[in-house]
Amino acid sequence: FKKNISYIIEMPVEKARIILEQAHPEKYFPDSNHQSGYISYQTYLFPNGQILLIDTSARFPYAAIYADLKTIASTKGDIEEKVYGSDDDEHLMKRIAKGDRMEDFELNEHLIYPKYIKDVIASHQLTLVENNIFVSDFYGNLYQSAKGYYVLIDEVKQKNGAGRKMRILELRIYHSLSEVRAAQARYERNKNDTVRHEHFYQQISDRYGAAFPSFVSSLIDSLSPLLNINMEQVTIDSAGMDLVDEALQWNANNYSLFDRYFPAVLAYYGECYMKIKNKGEWRVQYNEEDSVWIPGILLKDGSYAFDWRDFYKSLSEGPVPLRWAGDWHGSIKRMRAGDK
């Protein structure tokens, strides 16, 4: 289900080491995320652009040759961040504004400030075709590019939590009109689900309450039967996250299963966040307005690692890769902290 994978040649680690000795490729990235001590793999660049990866951190050692940089970035979130990331929180917005379709990214949904919309329309050669399109809780305007694809951009002037003008918009890129209609239908189906009239976390609150952290281990164990994956491979690391991502994708249309696996995925995400980033702790906050207990990862500065609304929305409307759910990279928090 990864967009950019052209080919991956898997092999025993021993064979990979022999290739290293014979070909002497250039070391590309050092040990990934070595400061946390939880992920350790090496990557090597060949003259033809192929990349060899040797991962000895997983329970089962792994090695493979990837076709190119885009291919390995599609499967390794931290490499994707190094390649496409930037200290400039608006880096990706500027790329879109210059006409980039963001095809290097698996996700078709991007955040963008209103000030870039004029440039987006011009650079992508967009023509407005329809207003008031709902694929999420906020409506947008649908444009068609002269190049054939479609772009849906949130309408700026609409009621939201910050008032009657949107400070940050969501921009979605679709290959065809049928993809847009499918997204509309999915939203309508979920919106009319009677279960959704209750608070997103009501079922978690009723069953686990303030004691949610005590159930984290058992919840993670439940991922295996719920998503039909091998429990031995549900590791708290990058490889495990990739496996869970794939399982969620396979179960994307099983709406009746979502409420059963969501608490387990939340528990797994939280544990991965704390272990890989080496920070945070479980904290269950009580929402007095809705009378529900909401689990989250509390950081040392007193803030939470991700917004519970964003996390639920990402999984229920997608699903999207876990590293895109919530706020894994912290970019949304930085955007909202600034008065844009």
Domain boundaries, the chain: 8-84, 91-190, 197-337
Which H/E stretch holds residue 284? strand 281-287
The band of 130, judged by pLDDT with boundaries at 50, 70 and 90, is very high
Among 46-60, 145-159, 228-242, 256-270, the range scoring the smallest mean pLDDT is 46-60
* Higher pLDDT among residues 339 and 46, named by residue: 46
For residue 290, give the nearest of 212, 195, 215, 206 by alpha carbon.
206
The sign of the dihedral angle between the CA atoms of 54, 57, 62, 65 is negative
For residue 239, give the nearest of 41, 7, 43 by alpha carbon.
41
- Average pLDDT in the 294-317 region? 88
What pLDDT, on the 0 to 100 scale, is given for residue 102?
79
Q: Does domain 197-337 have CATH number 1.10.150?
A: no
Is residue 34 predicted with pLDDT exceeding 50? no
For residue 225, give Cα distances in angstroms to 61, 62, 213, 230.
24, 25, 21, 8
Rounded to 5 degrees, what angle do the CA atoms 178, 115, 315 make? 45
The band of 106, judged by pLDDT with boundaries at 50, 70 and 90, is low
CA distance 31 to 78: 11
What pLDDT, on the 0 to 100 scale, is given for residue 194?
42
Is residue 267 predicted with pLDDT exceeding 90? yes
Residues belonging to the chain: 340
- Pull the structure tokens for residue 226: 């719920």
- Average pLDDT in the 162-190 region? 86
What pLDDT, on the 0 to 100 scale, is given for residue 180?
94
For residue 107, give the nearest of 131, 77, 144, 83 by alpha carbon.
77
Rounded to 5 degrees, what angle do the CA atoms 234, 80, 220 make? 15
- Average pLDDT in the 223-246 region? 86
Answer for the pair 59, 233: CB distance below 8 angstroms, yes or no.
Answer: yes
CA distance 298 to 300: 7
The model scores a pTM over 0.85: no
